[in-house]
Amino acid sequence: MPIPVTALYLAFNAVLSVALAANVTRVRAKTSVFLGTGESPEVLLAVRRHGNNAEYVPLALVALLCAELAGGGAAVLHGVGAALSLGRVLHVVGVGPTPKPPRAIGAVLTWAAIVVAAVAAAVLSYR
């Protein structure tokens, strides 16, 4: 069964994840901190940007996939995928030593995407 919506948002978020991982490697090389975060706020920031993305994206994509396989409509699925992707980008932009609005907006968009996809998957699975 084709899964074009999930495939689209998986592709975007996979590239984002690799970019964040590459940034961790770049920052580690720059600061010579190759294990943990040492005393470097810069390494900690890069690690948490990547780590937070790695913590939320897989669950969101599995929920989106389940909703799509259960027959979810394209508009809802694209809404979930777009909210997830925008949320992840905003979160990366907003993560820092002081609170910034994009971080909170990104977190809320990510959580909303997960909840909507999960509810859609559950409802559609009992049609």
Whether 127 shows a pLDDT value over 90: the answer reads no
- Give residue 1's pLDDT: 83
Give the tens place of pLDDT for each residue, 50-70: 999 999 999 999 999 999 999
CATH of the domain at 72: 1.20.120.550
- Which domain does 60 fall in, by range? 4-125
Q: Whole-prediction pTM value?
A: 0.94
How many independent structural domains does the chain possess? 1
Give the tens place of pLDDT for each residue, 10-40: 999 999 999 999 999 999 999 999 999 999 9
* Distance in angstroms (rounded) separating the CA atoms of residues 72 and 75: 9
39 φ, ψ (degrees, to nearest 5): -105, 15
In contact, 47 and 33? CB cutoff 8 Å = no
- Give residue 95's pLDDT: 95
Q: Which two tokens stand for residue 95?
A: 């993560």
Give the tens place of pLDDT for each residue, 71-113: 999 999 999 999 999 999 999 999 999 989 999 999 999 999 9
H helices within 1-126, ranges in order? 4-31, 41-69, 74-94, 101-125
